[in-house]
Structure 1
Amino acid sequence: MKFGEKLRQLRLEKGFTQEEVASAVNVSRRTYIGYEQEGRYPKKRDLYSRLAQVLDTETSYLLTEDEEFVSQASDKYGNRGKLQAEKLVAELSGMFAGGELSDSDKDAVMIALQKAYFDCKEDNKKYTPKKYRKK
């Protein structure tokens, strides 16, 4: 179940309107509708906690692994990173959901992705100006 679907389901179970939830978490109704109906995600991570509190659920329920990855990409790399992360999740989900890969092939794909990620991360360090490098 997607983030927006979870919000809608929990809101309806509690008998809240969109306006009530939006004001309780201090966002506009339009912003909340974007989360529920348009596939948008909160920019600030603390909003997940406030939503969970208002809707009486766990933050982890609202924030699945895919959404966590997208949220982290958005925090670290902005809108472009968020869009790339969403595209990557969609493509990989489609590849794994097709059922054509054996378990060992899926493992090999994941290992190759991890290796590519860490190789790129290491290569990119040399292009980061010294004043921005973490010490």
Structure 2
Amino acid sequence: MAFADRLKDFREKEKLSQADFAKMIGISTRTLVHYEDGERYPRDVEVYKKIAKVMNCDYNYLLEESDEFLNRVYNVGGKRELEKARALTEGLSSLFAGGEISDEDKDAAFEAITRAYWEAKRENKKYGRKKKD
């Protein structure tokens, strides 16, 4: 279950309005709507901790691996990059989940994706900004 689903599921089980739940967390109703729609993620771990306290759970429960990745993308690149990353992860999940594509074709697709990643990384290193240690 994704972060958005966990929030909405908890709120509905507790019979809380979005306004009441947002107030308990210390965020605006609009922000909560964005979280529940999966359009945004909290930028600060403290928000996750506040949500976890209200939900009486560990804040790590709120995140799946893909949510953590999407959260990092959103924090670095904003909504546009989040949408690109979400489309990519959903597309790849569909591709590798099964269906009509043979294992050999899946392997070839994975190799092509991996090559593209390393090529982009080399190009970014050559022309991009330097990372700080």
TM-score of the pair, normalised by structure 2? 0.76
The answer on whether the counterparts of 1:42 and 1:48 sit within 8 Å (CA) in structure 2 is no
| Aligned residue identity for 1:33 | V
Give deviations 1:22-43, integer Å, cap 9, x for gaps: 112221112212322x332224
Per-residue deviation, 1:108: 5.7
In the aligned structure 2, how far is the partner of 1:45 from the partner of 1:122?
Answer: 31
The equivalent of 1:96 in structure 2 is: 96
Give deviations 1:53-101, integer Å, cap 9, x for gaps: 2112232332112211111111222333212101101211221234334
Following superposition, which runs of at least 4 residues in structure 1 exceed 6 angstroms of deviation?
Answer: none
User: Percentage identity across aligned positions?
Assistant: 36
In the aligned structure 2, how far is the partner of 1:67 from the partner of 1:88?
Answer: 13
For residues 1-135 of structure 1, what are the structure 2 equivalents within 5 Å? Answer: 1-36=1-36, 38-46=37-45, 47-101=47-101, 106=106, 109-110=109-110, 112-129=112-129, 132-135=130-133
5+ residue gaps in structure 1?
Answer: none
In the aligned structure 1, how far is the partner of 2:106 from the partner of 2:44?
Answer: 31
CA RMSD of aligned residues (A): 2.6
In the aligned structure 2, how far is the partner of 1:111 from the partner of 1:52?
Answer: 39
3-state SS in 2 of match to 1:123: helix
In the aligned structure 2, how far is the partner of 1:67 from the partner of 1:116?
Answer: 23
In the aligned structure 2, how far is the partner of 1:5 from the partner of 1:43?
Answer: 15
- The worse-fitting range, judged by mean Cα deviation, of 99-108 and 74-83 is 99-108
State the number of aligned residues. Answer: 132
The answer on whether the counterparts of 2:42 and 2:71 sit within 8 Å (CA) in structure 1 is yes
Per-residue deviation, 1:7: 1.0
3-state SS in 2 of match to 1:44: coil
Tell me: CA distance 1:78–1:40, structure 2 relative to 1, closer, same or farther (3 Å). closer
| Aligned residue identity for 1:42 | Y
